[in-house]
Every structure is written in structure tokens, then in C-alpha cells.
Structure 1
């Protein structure tokens, strides 16, 4: 049945007079925004043609499929490199409904369509995320799903993914007698340079705990400088572990540094 489905679908697409020209992107060489936009436009055209062909192949049929199909797209995504591929599998309910074709469209609230997830005989596909993609909440809207008999299958959605830039923190602690100085560094991803830079005006908290304990205590609020640094000195004779917890901002994710002992 799988072979029959794709042979019939290929014939239907060929009859439309437009060939499939899906563009693939390699992680080895990061293409520019213009090229990615062209690739995604081609993928969107392919998805539309494929879904239209499946719908046309179903025309006249009175049967139906009572199943439903979902995909496991993450609720949050972090941009920490020029390119990353995030695996997005279909739910097991898709196989139970004998789904052969399914698609979801990712839409940004102000930037419009971002990309498509098209499953054509596959159970998993990569979501190709670039650092020049729009940050914010993406909505994944169902675009259509069909089984091996070209019967339409219901889809879950829309799903939502919060896309933001990644961050990380570092902390060092030095002691001079009973005085301990804790220095923190906040870093955030900068898409303009495709690298991490100092996170200016980062907000967070220096925390401490007794070695062996699992309970962290607040020590000092952090307000980083223009280079992402902050320093605090206080008096204690106790041996303690320190970390910095950076709070999220609208387009930057939170992070927690490794702990140091002093």
C-alpha cells in the first residue's frame, strides 16, 4: 500500500505540470537568509502541491479515517549556533491511523510563515533552525494529513514553540581571610555575529549552599555591566559553593552556571 500511495501521488503531482524541487540544507555550510528563504519557499510550494495532489486523489471517495495524527515539536527552542537541526518525530497515533502524508506550517506572529514540517512517508523530520530566524512564539498550524488510501486524517494543533537566544553564566570565587569575592559573567548568543557575547544588563542572582546540601540560598542580586560582568564581596568564614542564576528576558533564555567552592 505504501508503494501504491506514493506512485499515485507522484502521478498526480506530475499531472499538475510542476516538478518537485525541495531544497536541502547542509549543516556544514551555513547559507544566507536569502538562500534559506528561497529554500523554504520551495519547500512550502512542494508541501502545497503534495497536499493538493493527495486531496485530488481522494476526490469522490465517501470513506473516512477516524484516526488522528500529532507531532512532537518542542515547546521551547534555543538558538546557540548558526545552525541546528532539531528532530521532530510524529506521534505513534499517526502510524496507528496509517498516515502517509502530514504537514504543519510554522507561523511567527509578526514575521509570518517561517517553515513547514512535511512528513511524506517518514516518521521523523529535522526542523532546521538558523540564528537569523525570528525569535518569539511560533505557532505550528495543521495543514493536512492523509492515510494510504488518501483519506484525510485529523491533526492535533496548533502547537506553540517559544524560540529565544541561548545564554550561559560563569562564576569565580576568591578568598582573602574572611572576605570572599564572587565574580560572575553572563553571556548571551548574538545572531549578528553568530557567537556568544557579554550579556549587558542581565538580571539574576548569586546563590550559595553548604557543601553536601541540596538547598540553594540567595546571596546578592546581579545587574551585569555592559560586558556582562558583576562582582560582589562579603564576609564569611564558612566554606560555601556559589553559582549564578540568570533570569530570562523576552528573547533570551535563562541559565544557571556550574558551581564553584570557596
Structure 2
């Protein structure tokens, strides 16, 4: 054996486990979390190495101003956990922050960081009518109330959109803000038949939403 080969072999044998590349333990969590009912179960999953042969791993769910909002932990070979989201959960962008992961030999595993954005549900309605070549569209905006566990009409920003028959691309027709009763109306002249819908924009507390399609 050459001297160079002997040195290389000795260096490989002497390399401690902590200096070797740690295996990756990854969490998968939903990004868009919609609160539109008192309770909903979401699924969290971890890669198999996160709890293989007696290993364990965990993540803390952190809100930027409210701090810890629970967490997810995987032990004894489990790769799926339930995440129970109630309608009193904090709103906003949350971070699943690694709290530690180790294999069966107590060697640390690397962990990923995941985001979950929790906001209230909205609902968008649309009605339409045509009189000769004048099309009238009426949109209604609603927001989920955690106090009453129901949807209520409220003012919101949104837009009427259209697409030509036989196509798949929606285009903007008019941006609107619904009134305090949650209603916005527009009329315009157009003789051909089109598909229409009413959409609501995302806000810091609520998710975007599109209505069903109406054809006139």
C-alpha cells in the first residue's frame, strides 16, 4: 500500500460521525390553510428516516407575534400526524421550526423549515341578467365569522372577470369594492355570449375566492 493511500484510508477511518453529512429529515405541511368551519383536520407527514428504528423528530409551529402554536412530533416509526385546526387559531403566516431530530443511534438529522398560512374563508356569489345587448352582473362578498360559525356579507375588494366561450383564460372586466351589504353591480353592452365570474382578493386575514360561473 502506498503512503498516500495509507494516509487517505486513515483519514477516512478517523472521520467522526458528527463530521459526516447528516441525513435529511423533512416535514410536509399544507401551505394554504382555510378556516371556514369550527374545526378541520389537516395531515402532516415526515420522511421515513425521521422516526426510523427508534428515531424521533419534532417541529414547533411559530406565529411571528404570538409565539408557539403547538407542534408536530414523530416517534416509533410514525410518518403521519393529525393537525387539528380550530376556528380560534391564530391568523397569519406560521413557520414549522425544527426542534430536533435524531436517528436510532442518537445522531442528529438535518431538518427543513416549512410555512403554513392560516386565514379565514370567504365566499363569492354572482348573478347575471341580459336585456338586449346589456349585461348586468351582481357580485356578493361574504366572510366566515368565527363568532357565529357562519358566513356574513361584508365590504371587500374584488373583480368581475370574463372568458370567451370555448376558452380557459379568465380576463379582468372591472375591479370593484362591494358596499357594506357585500354587493357590487355593473352593467355594460356586449352582444355575444360570455362566461362571467366574481372573484375576491386575498387580504391579511382572508383567502381569495372565485364564484361559480354564469353565462350571458
1:11 is aligned to none
* SS of equivalent to 1:149: coil
Contact 2:50 2:74 in 1 (8 A): no
Contact 1:99 1:145 in 2 (8 A): no
1:210 deviates by: 1.8
1:99 deviates by: 6.5
Contact 1:147 1:153 in 2 (8 A): yes
Whole-Å Cα distance in 1 between the matches of residues 168 and 69 of structure 2? 42
1:101 equivalent to 2:56? Answer: yes
Whole-Å Cα distance in 1 between the matches of residues 184 and 39 of structure 2? 31
Greater share of residues in helix: 1
* SS of equivalent to 2:148: coil
- Equivalent runs, 1:220-231 vs 2, <5 Å: 220-231=174-185
1:209 equivalent to 2:163? Answer: yes
Whole-Å Cα distance in 2 between the matches of residues 91 and 209 of structure 1? 42
Whole-Å Cα distance in 2 between the matches of residues 141 and 103 of structure 1? 9
Could you tell me which of 212, 215, 219 is aligned with 2:173?
A: 219
- Equivalent runs, 1:99-138 vs 2, <5 Å: 100-121=55-76, 122-138=78-94
Which of 1 and 2 has greater Rg?
2
Q: Which runs of 5+ in 1 are unaligned?
A: 1-61
Q: Which runs of 5+ in 2 are unaligned?
A: 1-15
1:148 is aligned to 104
Greater share of residues in strand: 2
1:232 is aligned to 186
Contact 1:187 1:196 in 2 (8 A): yes
- Cα root mean square deviation, aligned: 2.0
1:189 is aligned to 144
Aligned residue-pair number: 198
Q: Give the direction of change, closer, same or farther, for the CA distance of 1:231–1:99 in structure 2 (3 Å limit).
A: farther
User: TM-score normalised to the size of structure 1?
Assistant: 0.70
Contact 1:169 1:244 in 2 (8 A): yes
Contact 1:189 1:196 in 2 (8 A): yes
Whole-Å Cα distance in 1 between the matches of residues 55 and 212 of structure 2? 45
2:30 is aligned to 74
1:183 deviates by: 0.8
Whole-Å Cα distance in 2 between the matches of residues 74 and 260 of structure 1? 31
Contact 1:99 1:153 in 2 (8 A): no
Whole-Å Cα distance in 2 between the matches of residues 71 and 63 of structure 1? 24
1:91-126 deviations in Å (ceiling 9; x for gaps)? 35536x756311101111111111110112210101
User: TM-score normalised to the size of structure 2?
Assistant: 0.84
Whole-Å Cα distance in 1 between the matches of residues 73 and 48 of structure 2? 16
1:252 is aligned to 206
Whole-Å Cα distance in 2 between the matches of residues 112 and 162 of structure 1? 15
